[in-house]
Amino acid sequence: MKGWLRALLARLPAGHQSIPEELWRATLVQFPFLSQLSAVELTRLRQLTREFLRQKEFHGAAGLIITDAMAVAIASQACLPILRFGTARQALRWYDDFVGIVVHPGEVLAPRSETDDNGVVHTYHERLSGEAMAEGPVTLSWHDVWMSGASAAQGYNVVIHEFIHKIDMRDGAPDGCPPLPPNFMGAVSPRAARQHWLDQLTKEFDRFGEQVVMAQRFSGAPTWLDPYGAESIDEFFAVSCEAYFVNRPDFSREFPSLLVLYDAFFNAPSLLD
């Protein structure tokens, strides 16, 4: 795991390490939505990915061996949402509540339990392609990560989804609203900024939920966005952000008002100084 990084750290001064050119080019080929960035943005993404790799630890589950290519694939996608959040130090503070990233070969069967109205506890297993825990590790399905280039057509990306949850949880429980600048989109106070965000997101969440119901119960047209986004407002935030980052043209047609909202947030300097 990260053999190139260990070798570089052993012989180069801090701040001069770089992801090998061949490995970086292969990553861009595998995930074309990354290569659509400008030359300046790609340079910054490469630097940010390097710093991310310096700070995080990858662990393979079920016998999976993490290769350099796997680590760079995950790190580069994880850094995409924070690409414009100020300096590398500022940007990576959004992810400083954890170190470990656990990668499974495929979907994970996660144990769950629920208590019904009669106090009876029901246990079951939920199939997951990823999970982000508050102040804990991120879990990912490598199959889903590797297929992210192809699945971008459907706006699907498991890495971005889970790291958006991390961004959402910076100010507490996931609620679909990340920490915002106090004057976000002209708001007069932090409270007004938050209210504006939630008003816009809730409006689109409700509209999307109606589309999902029509598709699933009344044979309506299937939604382009993953129906899982209708589960809750925080899942809608994560699911819609996946599409925003990997398929901007289709996202802009489906959610023009969210495009404006997300552009205002993800192009802003970091709040975590």
What is the pLDDT at residue 9? 44
Give the separation between CA 120 and CA 107, rounded to whole angstroms: 28
Q: Answer whether residue 98 shows pLDDT above 80.
A: yes
What is the pLDDT at residue 16? 47
Q: Tell me the three state secondary structure of residue 134.
A: coil
Using the CB atoms, write b or e for 136-145: b if 16+ within 10 Å: ebbbbbbebb
What is the pLDDT at residue 18? 83
Amino acid making up residue 113: S
What is the tens place of the pLDDT at every residue in 66-92?
999 999 999 999 999 999 999 999 999
What is the pLDDT at residue 14? 47
What is the pLDDT at residue 268? 84
The more confidently predicted of residues 6 and 49 is 49
Q: Which residues contact 122 (CB under 8 A, 6 or more apart)?
A: 113, 114, 115, 116
Give the separation between CA 178 and CA 49, rounded to whole angstroms: 22
**Percentage above 70 pLDDT, the chain:** 88
Amino acid making up residue 2: K
Q: Answer whether residue 111 shows pLDDT above 90.
A: no
Using the CB atoms, write b or e for 149-185: b if 16+ within 10 Å: bebbeebbbbbbbbbbbbbbbbeeebbbbbbbeeebb
- What's the length of the chain? 273
Structure tokens at 198: 């939630």
Mean pLDDT within 33-51: 97
Q: Note the pTM of the prediction, 2 decimals.
A: 0.91
Contact criterion met (CB below 8 Å) for 165 and 238:
yes
What is the tens place of the pLDDT at every residue in 225-270?
999 999 999 999 999 999 999 999 999 999 999 999 999 999 987 7
Q: Answer whether residue 124 shows pLDDT above 70.
A: no
What is the pLDDT at residue 273? 62
What is the pLDDT at residue 139? 97
Q: Answer whether residue 168 shows pLDDT above 60.
A: yes
Between the alpha carbon of residue 138 and those of residues 110, 112, 226, the distances in Å are 13, 17, 21
The more confidently predicted of residues 129 and 126 is 129
Amino acid making up residue 62: A
Q: Confidence band (pLDDT; 50, 70, 90) for 12?
A: very low
The more confidently predicted of residues 127 and 126 is 127
**Full set of structural domains in the chain with CATH:** 3-266 (1.10.472.150)
Average pLDDT of the chain, as a whole number:
91
Contact criterion met (CB below 8 Å) for 66 and 1:
yes
Q: Confidence band (pLDDT; 50, 70, 90) for 123?
A: low
Contact criterion met (CB below 8 Å) for 116 and 122:
yes
Alpha-helix residue ranges (DSSP H) falling in the chain: 3-11, 21-30, 32-35, 39-55, 68-79, 88-92, 142-146, 148-151, 158-168, 190-217, 233-246, 248-254, 256-266
Q: Answer whether residue 112 shows pLDDT above 60.
A: no
Residue 108: what are its φ and ψ, rounded to 5°?
-110, 135
